[in-house]
Amino acid sequence: MKISARNVLKGKVKSITHGAVNSEVVVELPGGTEITSIITKNSVEKLGLKEGNEVYAVIKSTSVMLASD
């Protein structure tokens, strides 16, 4: 897999919650950090995603926001 995005994180699908059109996919990274992605239900089916599958979270953005307490 070649991709232009620099932020590619490998993890495992922890859970998938389907809605009418979109699905929420929670990916657990090594160390326990979780990333949640909202993708179409059709994309989940095309990728064959299931709990326990290894996946890559690809983060591509032109803006990065930071917050501090």
Structural domain boundaries in the chain:
7-59
Residue 65 pLDDT grade (very low, low, confident, very high; cuts 50, 70, 90): low
DSSP, collapsed to helix, strand or coil, labels residue 42 as helix
Residue 13 CB coordination number (10 Å): 19
* Location of structure tokens 């179409």: 40
| Segment 6-20, tens digit of pLDDT | 788 899 999 999 999
Q: What local confidence, expressed as pLDDT, does residue 63 receive?
A: 67
Element (H, E) at 41: helix 41-47
* DSSP-assigned beta bridge partners for residue 38: 24
| Segment 36-49, tens digit of pLDDT | 999 999 999 999 99
**Nearest-angstrom CA–CA distance, 52 and 69:** 35
Q: Does domain 7-59 have CATH number 1.10.30.50?
A: no
DSSP, collapsed to helix, strand or coil, labels residue 67 as coil
User: Structure pTM?
Assistant: 0.85
Report the amino acid identity of residue 35.
Answer: I
